[in-house]
Structure 1
Amino acid sequence: MSRPWNTVIAFVLGFAACALIVRWMGYQPPSSSKQLVLATLDAPVRQMGSVPGADAIAEACARIEPAVVNIDTFMRPRRSLRLEDFFGPEEAMRGSGSGVIISSDGYIITNHHVVRGADEIVVSLADGRRYLGKPVGADEQSDIAVIKVNARGLPTAELGDSDKLRVGEWAIAVGNPLGLGSTVTVGVISALNRRKLLVDNGRYLEIAIQTDAAINQGNSGGALANIYGQLIGINTAIAAPPGGGSIGIGFAIPVNHVKKVVRDILVQGGTVKRARPWLGFYFDAVRPSLMKRVGLPDLNGVVVDQVVPGSPADRAGLRADDVIRAFGDRPVRSTQDLLEEIMKRQPGDRVHIKVWRGGKQITLSVTVGTSPDVIQ
């Protein structure tokens, strides 16, 4: 065979081999490639197998979300005696928040600061139904309020047990952030038994659950639920930078505390003034310098900074620089320990306090008093 024919045959065979290689690598002509994409778009979705726990959060949301409502408030402007105010535009001030239905006939828990001063309250359910809300009562210090709508057969939240919570458990926040409507965010329980948290305008939270589930403006009064869809807290406040927004530090009032407050509101009605335990002294953690100065054997305890004159602590003989080492039967190692023990007491209870003073330990007896209206 002549050399030109050898060259032609080699070229043809090489081209065919290249074509086979390209085909084998998945190349399609443009028209075939488009058809392949269209076929992919129309292909049936492969059904995934069941993964244990994969739907737990969705199932919890399905239980709690229908019982969480959006609350819109309207406050009529207060006219002054200035002439221009009589002829200027009259626009109602609006606010928004959330609430949780606790009875099928329309009792709803929310935060006091959500409905405070409202002339009109509009409650919107997750299914679109809307009702006028009427205030039943509130506890300003606890920041809990109860409102009522005239309805029957409403979905309700199942109440959980916040005393059994553990750090690291799932936490599901449901509410109306920024007025967007029902929204779910998920995180964990970050901490328990946060005490005396200053939130705004001198207002303290007596006790709170900390969570990193995103909570924003409008979530106030909404639900914090566990993985079973049970209500474990009422979302109330966040720690936020100057510009606002969630940074993963939110606080909810534990449902067990909410139960006590709501019971008082329903029994007493109106604005509730609950008797709170009070001893009347300021305190802080023990520092190494104090430990050396007073001869403490370790850093455990709480130092008394100041005693309010005439208070139960003053009458019991407590002094500044005393170090409280035990309250009742419980050793006191931190300010948190002492706060928890004080909050367990009722006005009138008598408690023995072990105090380090003058290089030795003494025992004082104090009768718990009732907290005045101002925060100590």
Structure 2
Amino acid sequence: MRHKARAGPRLLFLVLCAVLLATFSGRAEAEPTNPLLSVVRIEAHVPGDSRTASRLGTERAGAGVVIAGDGLILTIGYLILEADEVAVTDRDGRRFPAEIVAYDHATGFGLLRAHEGLDVPAVALGVSGEIEHLQTLLAASVGPVPAHPVQVRAVKPFAGGWEYLIEGAVFTVPPISEFGGAALFGEDGRLLGIGSLILGDAGGSGEAGNMFVPIDLLKPVLGDLLAFGRSTEPARPWVGIYPAEIRGYLVVSGLAEGGPGASAGLERGDLLIAVGEEPVKDMEGFFRAIWALGPAGTRVPLTVLRDGSVFSIEIESRDRHDWLKLGRTY
């Protein structure tokens, strides 16, 4: 059922957006409760020999959101993944060194903590499970325009070609260009999500927009991330395959260098037909079938089509964390 927003709250929220934008445009002093003050700029340097350097670059920048009074910042994990140097900058242009606290591939979140001196209010976490279709929210990031009213087009699972699948991804329009680590705020100023991607089709809407990782995914793992730098749940089996959905087929578009798939003999252009006895035609089905086999280290049987011939191949999965070059700053 389509959500029909109430005129009163919608109007008040749009007025709030206008006030917040005017506040930062004029650089006037804002109230401590202003959620935009919690958004900071993140810059990370990643060594050239890192596993993700070729795909994500060695100089990365985006946004993050302060979520605790000790300078704890939530962002999208790829900004800080394998970084050896990280810094944050507040709205007044003050720059502070930071250290990486955690990275969680299952959700896509990353945590870092600014060193002493960052005087930025922490934002409260909302409930992303209450987001409704066509609801108006506020996307906030770094850049010339700090905040943008956006509308929810879909809330549904999202599968990414880096062996990534989440429930309840939030798709919004119009797109914002400074999406990496951007904050998604509700009408009450609480944090509902963190920006991850810009897409030509936001959640099947036919419109360009952004995908936000829902904040509810953080809550069950936050304790582990703070204590251990990662979740203590058994690691999922990782096969090092970058699949792509092309004309109803699932194609190997790339392979992680030195990863399980490459070591087993898979090649770019191979068509993935089945995982065990389970036929697969899309990334979501492919990932779910692999993860259902067991934890990292599980052997993954695949049926593959190459040059008109069908054959079977078995991949010895790994824990992705063992392949990444982590722990440079934590």
TM-score, shorter chain, exceeding 0.5? yes
| Alignment of structure 1 residues 18-33 onto 2, 5 Å | none
| Alignment of structure 1 residues 57-96 onto 2, 5 Å | 57-58=17-18, 63-78=34-49, 93-96=58-61
CA contact (8 A) 1:171 1:213 kept: no
CA distance in 2, matches of 1:260, 1:60: 32
Q: CA RMSD in A?
A: 3.9
Structure 1 pair 182–124 and aligned structure 2 pair: CA distance change class (3 A): farther
SS of alignment partner, residue 259 of structure 1: coil
1:186 pairs, out of 134, 149, 159, with 149
Structure 1 pair 306–231 and aligned structure 2 pair: CA distance change class (3 A): same
Question: What TM-score comes out, normalization by structure 1 length?
Answer: 0.51
AA matched with 1:124: T
Q: Quick check: 1:120 aligned with 2:85?
A: yes
Q: Deviations over 1:186-242 (max 9, x none)?
A: 2111111x21422x44444444111114232x421120111222111111112149x
**In structure 1, what is the equivalent of residue 180 of structure 2?**
220
CA distance in 2, matches of 1:175, 1:126: 11
What's the offset of the Cα at 1:155? 1.0
SS of alignment partner, residue 163 of structure 1: helix
1:141 pairs, out of 96, 100, 106, with 106
AA matched with 1:168: L
What's the offset of the Cα at 1:268? 2.2
What's the offset of the Cα at 1:273? 5.4
Structure richer in helix, relative to its length: 1
**In structure 2, what is the equivalent of residue 132 of structure 1?**
97
SS of alignment partner, residue 126 of structure 1: coil
1:155 pairs, out of 73, 98, 121, with 121
Structure 1 pair 52–307 and aligned structure 2 pair: CA distance change class (3 A): closer
1:195 pairs, out of 137, 145, 157, with 157
What's the offset of the Cα at 1:165? 1.4
What's the offset of the Cα at 1:247? 5.3
**In structure 1, what is the equivalent of residue 197 of structure 2?**
237
2:72 pairs, out of 107, 127, 130, with 107
Structure 1 pair 373–249 and aligned structure 2 pair: CA distance change class (3 A): farther
Q: Deviations over 1:115-171 (max 9, x none)?
A: 112221110111222110100111123211110012364211121111111111112
SS of alignment partner, residue 197 of structure 2: strand
AA matched with 1:173: A
Q: Quick check: 1:209 aligned with 2:170?
A: yes
**In structure 1, what is the equivalent of residue 307 of structure 2?**
none
Structure 1 pair 58–263 and aligned structure 2 pair: CA distance change class (3 A): farther
In the TM superposition, structure 1's runs of 4+ consecutive aligned residues that sit over 4 Å from their partners are 59-62, 76-79, 371-374
AA matched with 2:233: R
AA matched with 2:88: V
CA distance in 1, matches of 2:221, 2:171: 20
CA contact (8 A) 2:193 2:212 kept: yes
**In structure 2, what is the equivalent of residue 274 of structure 1?**
233
Q: Deviations over 1:297-331 (max 9, x none)?
A: xxxxxxxx95636xxxxxxxxx879xxxxxxxxxx
1:168 pairs, out of 107, 126, 134, with 134
AA matched with 2:147: V
CA distance in 2, matches of 1:126, 1:249: 25
CA distance in 2, matches of 1:137, 1:130: 21
SS of alignment partner, residue 218 of structure 2: helix
**In structure 2, what is the equivalent of residue 257 of structure 1?**
217
CA contact (8 A) 2:76 2:196 kept: yes
**In structure 2, what is the equivalent of residue 357 of structure 1?**
none
CA contact (8 A) 1:69 1:124 kept: yes
What's the offset of the Cα at 1:272? 3.4
CA distance in 1, matches of 2:199, 2:134: 19
AA matched with 1:210: F
Gaps of 5+ in 1: 1-50, 80-91, 279-304, 310-318, 322-335, 348-370
CA distance in 1, matches of 2:235, 2:175: 31
Number of residue equivalences: 225
AA matched with 1:250: N
SS of alignment partner, residue 260 of structure 1: coil
2:15 pairs, out of 35, 55, 63, with 55
CA contact (8 A) 1:173 1:213 kept: no
Question: What TM-score comes out, normalization by structure 2 length?
Answer: 0.57
Structure 1 pair 58–260 and aligned structure 2 pair: CA distance change class (3 A): farther
Gaps of 5+ in 2: 1-9, 22-29, 51-56, 238-272, 295-316, 321-330
CA contact (8 A) 2:134 2:153 kept: yes
Give aligned-pair identity as a percent: 23
CA contact (8 A) 1:142 1:206 kept: no
